[in-house]
Amino acid sequence: MPKSETNHEVGFEQFLAAAGNSLSAAQGSLTEGLDLTTNLVVSEAQLEVKAALSADSKGRLAVQTISAKDISQGGLDPGLVSTMQINFVATAGEPQAEVTKPKRSPADVVKEVSKHSDVAAMEKILGDLTYDATFVSDKERWLVTVRDPKGRLVRESVLPD
């Protein structure tokens, strides 16, 4: 579609970000002067846009607006017009679980895993292994990943605290 002073092209991700910011600003105006948070004022919204979509050589999408003039003068192939429907749905995150402190240190957990017979055997074959111990507080468990010298995952263990 030929470009004119009435139609503009913008990256698709930039277009979506602008639409989300616009919805956020609209929600803020709904509660102006009230003592309310605006993050869940509008639970659902739908935006429908008719525009031309194009892609650059790397496959990134761009949105090109279409003016009423382009449509009325017939200089537009109807096959180039796309209808985009963007649905905004408000969600609330899960409440944060109470954080518990581990009883053991990461070094203690790594030492235990490194003594497992299968891990010790892999270390003899593969060379020095790298251990990463992460405490999952809501489950009161340790997740230990073991990687070979090339960074490949060779073992993953879950241990009680």
DSSP 8-state assignment for residue 93: P
Provide the residue range defining the domain that includes 53.
9-89
Cα separation, 68 vs 71, in Å, equals 5
Do residues 52 and 114 share a domain?
Answer: no
Q: What is the pLDDT of residue 92?
A: 65
Confidence of residue 50 (pLDDT cuts 50, 70, 90): confident
Indicate whether 6 pLDDT > 70. no
Domain count, the chain: 2
pLDDT, tens digit (0-9, with 9 covering 90-100), for 90-140: 766 666 667 789 999 999 999 999 999 999 999 999 999 999 999 998 889
Do residues 152 and 125 share a domain?
Answer: yes
The predicted model scores a pTM of 0.46
Residue among 12, 10, 39, 15 at smallest CA distance from 25: 39
